[in-house]
Amino acid sequence: MTTTLAKPAIRPARPEFSSGPCAKRPGWTPENLRNAVLGRSHRSKLGKARLKAAIDQTREVLEVPADFLIGIVAGSDTGAVEMAMWSMLGARPVQLLAFESFGKDWVTDVTKQLKLPDVEVLSAPYGQLPDTSKVDPAKDLVFTWNGTTSGVRVPNADFISADREGITICDATSAAFAQELDWAKLDVVTFSWQKALGGEGAHGILILSPRAVARLESYTPAWPMPKLFRMTKNGKIAADIFEGATINTPSMLCVEDALDALKWASSIGGLQAMQARADQNLAVLADWVAKTPWVDFLAATPDIRSNTSVCLKVVDPKITALPEDAQADFAKKLASLLEKEGAALDIGGYRDAPAGLRIWCGATVEASDLEALTPWLDWAFATVSAELVAA
C-alpha cells in the first residue's frame, strides 16, 4: 500500500481499545493478582470474604444506595439481565427500548422466548434514541442506558416516572462507572467487570432496588425457572446471594482482578474521577472529529453521544457512494491495517451495526493513547483510500 501521508512516528503505548473485554487499568500486571484465593472453595471463609469485599467495594465506588442489593452472578452482563427478565417480567405489560444490538436481543427474549402477551417495543435506528416520551409508568421497562454497539446513550432518566407502577430493568454494562446513573429511577441495574473496570469476562453484577425485591417476593412466573436464575426461596429473597454466596462457582482469579480495578478506581478519586476520565477521552476524539472531514460520530447529536463505546462512521463522499458491502469492507480494512501496525486493536464496528469503527474510551484508557491514535486513524484512511483509487 502507498499513500502520500507519512506514517506517524508514535504509537499508542497501549493499543487496546476493545469495547469488551476492555483495556486493563493503567499499571496493571499479573502480579496484582498474587493474593487471589486459588485452590480453595469459594464457599470457604476466605473465598466468601473476597466475594463480599468485591460487593462492598462496588457499592462504595459506584455509590450504590445502601438499601439496594448487589450480587455477583453467572454469564456476564447478559446473565444478569436474563436473571432479571425471567424472574420479574410477566406481572404487568412490558415496554422495551431498542436502539442497538443488545436492546434488540432483550426484545427477542421477551417476545420469542418468554412470549409475553402484552409487549410494546419503542425502537430507533442506530445513532438515534426511541421516543422516550412514550414510556408508560404503568408498564415494566427494559432498556440499555448506553448502547455499546451504537455509541448512543440516554442523556438522563427524566423519561422514567418517580411514581411509576412498573419496574425498570437497566442494562448499564457500558455506562456503569462512566455515566451518571439515576438510582431513584432504576430498579434493576446490571453490568460486567469486563467493561469500565477493565476486568475479566464471565461474571455479571446484578443490583436490585427495594422495589425489585418486592416484585421478586410477590410474583411467581408461570414458566420453569432454571437454577441459575433463582433468586428467591420460599417466597423470600435469597439474601446470601447478595452477601457473596454465588449461585454457581465463580473464578476467584477474576474476583481478585475486579478487586484490583476497584482499588485503583478508589485511588484516583472514585466515581467522579472515573467519569471525568471517560469524558476527557471522548473529548480527545471529539476534537479530532471536528477537524476531520472523512469521519463523524454515529450518534446523531452530542447529548446522546457515548463517552465509552464511541462509534464512528466514514462520511467521505467517495466511500459513502459505494454499495453497503463495499463500505463495510472499507471499514474492516481500516481496522485490520491499524491492528497490523500495532496502533489499535479490536476497533472494528460491531457485527450488526452500521459499518465503521468503535473505540473504547472508558476510564482505563489513557487520553494520551487516544491522542497518539488519531494520526494513525488519518494515516489508515489515506492508505486504504489510496488502495481503493488504485484499484
Q: What is the CA radius of gyration of the chain?
A: 22
Q: Which residues contact 164 (CB under 8 A, 6 or more apart)?
A: 137, 138, 141
C-alpha to C-alpha distances, 214 to 24, 118, 150, 166, 235, nearest whole angstrom: 37, 22, 33, 12, 10
Q: So what's the pLDDT on residue 1?
A: 44
Q: What nine digits make up the cell of 261?
A: 480495578
For residues 87 and 223, give the distance between their C-alpha atoms in angstroms, rounded to a whole number: 9
What kind of architecture, by CATH, is found in domain 30-266?
3-Layer(aba) Sandwich (3.40)
Handedness of CA 315, 321, 325, 330 (dihedral sign): negative
Helices 270-290 and 367-390 sit at what angle, rounded to 10 degrees? 30
Q: So what's the pLDDT on residue 388?
A: 85
Handedness of CA 314, 330, 316, 353 (dihedral sign): negative
Q: So what's the pLDDT on residue 3?
A: 52
Q: What nine digits make up the cell of 212?
A: 425489585
63: alpha, beta or left? (left if phi > 0; alpha if psi -120 to 50): left
Q: What nine digits make up the cell of 203?
A: 461474571
The DSSP symbol for 215 reads H
Q: So what's the pLDDT on residue 390?
A: 75
Complete edge-to-edge strand list for the sheet that includes strand 357-360: 295-297, 309-314, 357-360
Handedness of CA 198, 200, 204, 207 (dihedral sign): negative
For residues 376 and 50, give the distance between their C-alpha atoms in angstroms, rounded to a whole number: 42
What kind of architecture, by CATH, is found in domain 270-390?
Alpha-Beta Complex (3.90)
For residues 81 and 26, give the distance between their C-alpha atoms in angstroms, rounded to a whole number: 29
Outline which parts of the chain fall under CATH 3.40.640.10. Answer: 30-266
For residues 375 and 367, give the distance between their C-alpha atoms in angstroms, rounded to a whole number: 14
* Whether 297 contacts 151, CB under 8 Å: yes
Q: So what's the pLDDT on residue 391?
A: 67
Outline which parts of the chain fall under CATH 3.90.1150.10. Answer: 270-390
For residues 361 and 144, give the distance between their C-alpha atoms in angstroms, rounded to a whole number: 18
What is the H or E stretch that residue 309 is in?
strand 309-314
Q: Which parts of the chain have pLDDT scores under 70? A: 1-4, 391
The DSSP symbol for 276 reads H
The DSSP symbol for 109 reads I
| Opening angle at CA 353, ends 146 and 286, nearest 5 | 60
